[in-house]
């Protein structure tokens, strides 16, 4: 990619043609994509222009700090280099002023000659009140602030070609024809959130959300269920507000809340500015993409409209898309849009008048959706994305079967994926299950992506409309010949194959390629093998499935079968098998219930005899069932000075043989009467949230640093414990925990089971004992 020098020829310096010479420009949206390109051009090509930037504080960063960061962005690199260090900073301090505030709350200085109003929310699916807050209320507040400052500036109001809404044929560069009352729509959009919040708290809605949260998170404990239910309520509110915006927009003929609010914003501007005798120009770009030439070919800031689709296609994740092959996809490079905006800024209409300009390629140099697809496919054929160990991605060939057929394929795949997800969550933990979960998760992500974008982009990829740009072209033709290359905006100069294959696609894939050359993004992180030496941290281990390949049922059987002759083992096993479905149901719902129900089986056992049995004989079998990797990890922690803690819902007598391995064992204790177990627990078992609560209290009283602590667990019921520490590790995770660990990028370990099967170990042990 070649970069132009920092300064393109300055029109101000060209003889009589002195557009914008010495003017004071107020620029809103200067931190955005179009705004950055506009600011850069004003700085590099209009040396006598002063710019005041409206910047808001964002995510804790004050406006002044944001301005400093902004000036270091790549868009200004050539300009900075052209002026040199020291000089560019001086130029900024002399020519760039900061106005701190946001559209809804701003007071403006006097002496503004031109306003370029580019600030906007550009998301197609914002909640209705948020979209109105910036694109309608924000517009109203800006014009009010200009009036309050006594300004008579020429305002270049940046809108979008798609304000024309869903229609076919040619759209004129003129005021929109509609009778929608923007004030009434604004009032209604502002009021909606209160209604939706109230609806979200209706008992029927809450019951549904809580029920779903219980079935998905019940194993992790009541607080986890409550948190999930509340999160689901908030998501419900957000979805509903998005739906309000989209549905209202579509009911009036706009594809989405973005174009709807931008259209109403235009109407407000006409009324509040041109209607008050001022000069107003409305610039309507189509789909703005990376620059053709300036500041360098391919400059783009973040992912805009086409990029997510291009990347997903290059990754092989878009087998089809519901676009019409012959529909015009109206793309325009950002530098041509900036040139058009600045030419418009220099050519105001009469006071009280409004001038409209379409800036796109669809009329002069149309690119069909099929053309975009073919060029992108050709690019990826020549430069495929890496696919880890599988070599390179082979991109799919689209057949364009039509929107309905793609919708049918999408629905069927969504249904099949949901069935697979539900089935997998009920399967036992194994490496195979994890592989299936990963594949289904990937499929779900791709389908969600396709669903989102096929809904959002329908109006853009199935458009049968063109935007007349004769007024824009006429303005371009007023440029002196020697300024056309640097300041022109005739889209006829775009060579689509060259632009897409040599400029745009390489620019948007550069980031993905650089990310992929390192470690594969999909790789699952592992538990740390080398551990920092510390004395203020602990490593907490769950027992069953994490440290030993055994469980409550198995230990019970060992104890029970050791007490009866071999001839009665069949009967004992059959009795247990009959109760298993009930235990499984309990286990799925609440691990504490399962432990309580199962330990009832010990009622009547003599505590001392049970302890002796485990200490002398069955303890050996338990140790043999310990997972070697778990033992190694416990030792590593000990060597690093960490406290090692075993935490389990099982009863203490059963786990006594493991006491030597850990610094501390926290287990349940059974209630006894006269040395005989009653079948009840002394206290509630330490499961799910109770474990997290125990660790929290323990760390507070002993001064452990939880962010440095480690926790190892295999079940979704361990989630609260794992969430509490800085280093959570899912070991041999059940499907629900595995899915959660992947989402949270937690370490996942498959420590394998012991070389000898459970049955072999137990039978050998018992046989020896009974001999
Ligand atoms: N990109 C396109 O394809 C395209 C196509 C047609 C028309 N347009 C129009 O071009 C203009 C710029 O779009 P863009 O792509 O550059 O968008 P962008 O990258 O998302 O930038 C939006 C800008 O608006 C600012 N902003 C948003 N809400 C604000 C508020 N309440 N107060 C103050 N500033 C606020 C943002 O500031 P923060 O940095 O503080 O968030 C940011 O600077 C918009 O009017 C858009 O409708 C864009």
Banded pLDDT at 148 (limits 50, 70, 90): very high
Asked whether the bond before 295 is cis by omega within 30 degrees of 0, the reply is yes
d(CA 274, CA 272): 6
Q: CA-CA distance, 344 to 392, in Å (whole number)?
A: 46
* Rounded Cα distance, 188 and 173, in Å: 30
The secondary structure element, H or E, covering residue 331 is strand 331-333
Reported confidence tier of residue 197, pLDDT bands at 50, 70, 90: very high
CB of residue 120 inside a 6 A radius of ligand 1: yes
Going by pLDDT thresholds of 50, 70 and 90, the confidence category of residue 5 is very low
Q: pLDDT confidence of 451, banded at 50, 70, 90?
A: confident
Question: Is the pLDDT reported for residue 739 higher than 60?
Answer: yes
**Residue in 24, 99, 45 with CA at minimum distance from that of residue 67:** 99
Pocket lining: 29 vs ligand 1, CB cutoff 6 Å: yes
**Percent of all residues in the chain with a pLDDT value above 90, rounded to a whole number:** 60
The one-character DSSP state at 7 is P
CB 467 within 8 A of CB 461: no
User: Closest ligand 1 atom to the C-alpha of 35?
Assistant: 16
Per the listing, tokens 């050998």 go with 764
How far, in Å, is the centroid of ligand 1 from the Cα of 119?
4
Question: Tokens 């009866």 identify what position?
Answer: 564
**CB 3 within 8 Å of CB 10:** no
Given ligand 1 and candidates 35, 65, 119, 265, which is best to mutate, with the most ligand atoms within 8 Å of its CB? 119
| CA dist list (Å): 726 to 227, 640, 706 | 20, 16, 6
Instruction: Classify strands 643-651 and 538-542 as parallel, antiparallel or unpaired.
Output: parallel
Q: Is 508 helix (H, G, I), strand (E, B) or coil?
A: helix
Closest C-alpha to ligand 1, atom 18 = 32
The string of pLDDT tens digits covering residues 61-95 is 999 999 999 999 999 999 999 999 999 999 999 99
Residue-wise pLDDT for 395-408, tens only, equals: 999 988 877 778 88
Task: List beta partners, residue 544.
Answer: 548
For residue 54, the SS3 value is strand
Classify 686 as helix, strand or coil.
Answer: coil
- pTM exceeds 0.75: yes
Helices marked H in 346-368: none
Q: How far is the CA of 265 from the centre of ligand 1 (A)?
A: 14
How far does the centroid of ligand 1 lie from the alpha carbon of residue 123, in Å? 9
On average, the pLDDT of the chain sits at 88
Residues in CB range of 500: below 8 A, 6 or more apart: 372, 375, 376, 379
Q: Which residue has the higher pLDDT, 513 or 245?
A: 245
pLDDT of residue 694: 95
- Atom of ligand 1 minimally distant from the CA of 287: 3
- State in Å: Cα 470 to ligand 1 middle: 26
Q: Does any ligand 1 atom lie closer than 6 A to the CB of residue 160?
A: yes
Cβ atoms < 10 Å from Cβ of 669: 12
pLDDT surpassing 80 at residue 503: yes
User: β-pairing, 114-117 with 24-28?
Assistant: parallel
Q: Is the pLDDT of residue 766 over 80?
A: no
The string of pLDDT tens digits covering residues 676-696 is 989 898 888 888 999 999 999
Beta bridge partners of 636: none
Q: Cα(301)–Cα(257) distance, rounded to whole angstroms?
A: 23
Q: 343-361 pLDDT, tens per residue?
A: 999 999 999 999 999 999 9
Phi, psi of 737 (to 5 degrees): -70, -40
Q: For residues 538 and 107, give the distance between their C-alpha atoms in angstroms, rounded to a whole number.
A: 55
Q: What is the pLDDT of residue 518?
A: 42
- How far is the C-alpha of 272 from the C-alpha of 143, rounded, in Å? 7
Would the CB of 259 count as within 6 Å of ligand 1?
no
């Amino acid at each position: 990619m070649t970069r132009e020098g920092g300064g393109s020829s300055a029109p101000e310096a060209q003889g009589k043609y002195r557009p914008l010479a010495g003017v004071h420009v107020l620029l809103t949206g200067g931190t955005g994509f179009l705004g950055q390109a506009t600011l850069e051009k004003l700085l590099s090509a209009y040396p006598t222009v002063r710019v005041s930037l409206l910047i808001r504080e964002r995510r804790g960063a004050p406006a002044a700090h944001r301005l400093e960061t902004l000036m270091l962005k790549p868009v200004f690199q050539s300009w900075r280099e052209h002026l040199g260090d020291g000089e560019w900073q001086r130029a900024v301090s002399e020519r760039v002023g900061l106005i701190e505030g946001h559209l809804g709350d701003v007071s403006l200085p006097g002496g503004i000659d031109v306003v370029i109003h580019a600030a906007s929310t550009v998301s197609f699916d914002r909640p209705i009140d948020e979209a109105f807050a910036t694109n309608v209320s924000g517009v109203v507040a800006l014009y009010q602030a200009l009036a309050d400052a006594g300004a008579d500036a020429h305002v270049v109001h940046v809108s979008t070609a798609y304000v024309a809404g869903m229609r076919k044929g040619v759209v004129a560069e003129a005021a929109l024809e509609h009778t929608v009352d923007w004030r009434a729509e604004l009032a209604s959009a502002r009021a909606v959130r209160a209604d939706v919040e109230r609806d979200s708290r209706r008992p029927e809605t809450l019951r549904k959300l809580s029920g779903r949260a219980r079935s998905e998170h019940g194993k992790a404990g009541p607080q986890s269920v409550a948190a999930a239910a509340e999160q689901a309520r908030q998501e419900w509110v957000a979805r509903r507000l998005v739906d309000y915006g989209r549905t209202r927009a579509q009911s009036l003929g706009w594809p989405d809340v973005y174009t709807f609010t931008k259209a109403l914003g235009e109407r407000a501007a006409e009324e509040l500015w041109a209607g008050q005798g001022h000069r107003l120009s409305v610039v309507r770009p189509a789909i703005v993409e990376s620059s053709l030439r300036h500041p360098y070919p391919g400059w783009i800031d973040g992912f805009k409209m086409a990029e997510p689709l291009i990347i997903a296609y290059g990754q092989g994740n878009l087998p089809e898309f519901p676009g019409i092959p012959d529909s015009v996809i109206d793309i325009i490079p950002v530098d041509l849009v900036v040139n058009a905006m600045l030419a418009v800024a220099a050519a105001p209409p009469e006071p009280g008048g409004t001038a409209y300009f379409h800036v796109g390629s669809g009329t002069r140099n149309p690119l069909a959706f099929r053309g975009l697809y073919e060029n992108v496919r050709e690019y990826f054929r020549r430069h495929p994305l890496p696919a880890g160990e599988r070599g390179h991605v082979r991109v799919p060939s689209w057949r364009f079967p039509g929107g309905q057929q793609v919708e049918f394929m999408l629905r069927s795949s969504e249904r099949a994926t949901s069935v697979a997800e539900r089935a997998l969550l009920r399967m036992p933990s194994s490496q195979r299950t994890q592989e299936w979960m990963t594949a289904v998760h990937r499929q779900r992500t791709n389908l969600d992506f396709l669903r989102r974008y096929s809904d959002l982009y329908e109006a853009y990829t199935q458009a049968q409309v063109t935007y007349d740009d004769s007024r824009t072209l006429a303005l371009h033709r007023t440029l002196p010949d020697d300024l056309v290359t640097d300041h022109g905006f005739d889209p006829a100069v775009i060579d689509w194959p060259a632009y897409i294959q040599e400029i745009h696609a390489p620019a948007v894939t550069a980031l993905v390629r650089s990310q992929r050359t390192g470690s594969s993004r999909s790789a699952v992180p592992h538990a740390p093998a080398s551990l920092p030496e510390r004395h203020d941290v602990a490593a907490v281990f769950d027992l069953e499935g994490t440290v030993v390949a055994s469980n409550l049922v198995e230990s019970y059987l060992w104890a029970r079968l050791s007490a009866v002759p071999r001839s009665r083992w069949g009967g004992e096993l059959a009795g247990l098998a009959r109760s298993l479905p009930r235990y499984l149901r309990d286990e799925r719902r609440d691990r504490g219930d399962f432990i309580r129900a199962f330990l009832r089986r010990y009622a009547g056992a003599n505590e001392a005899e049970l302890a002796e049995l485990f200490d002398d004989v069955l303890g050996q079998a338990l140790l043999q069932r310990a997972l070697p990797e778990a033992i190694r990890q416990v030792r590593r922690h000990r060597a690093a000075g960490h406290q090692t803690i075993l935490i389990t819902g099982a009863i203490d007598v059963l786990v006594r043989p493991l006491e030597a391995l850990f610094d501390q064992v926290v287990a349940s204790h059974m209630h006894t009467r006269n040395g005989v177990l009653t079948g009840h627990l002394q206290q509630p078992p330490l499961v799910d949230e109770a474990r997290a609560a125990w660790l929290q209290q323990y760390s507070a009283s002993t001064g452990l640093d939880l962010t440095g602590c480690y926790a190892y667990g295999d079940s979704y019921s361990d989630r609260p414990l794992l969430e509490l520490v800085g280093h959570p590790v899912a070991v041999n995770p059940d499907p629900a925990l595995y899915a959660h660990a992947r989402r949270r990028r937690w370490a996942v370990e498959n420590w394998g089971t012991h070389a000898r099967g459970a049955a072999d170990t137990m039978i050998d042990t018992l046989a020896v004992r009974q001999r």
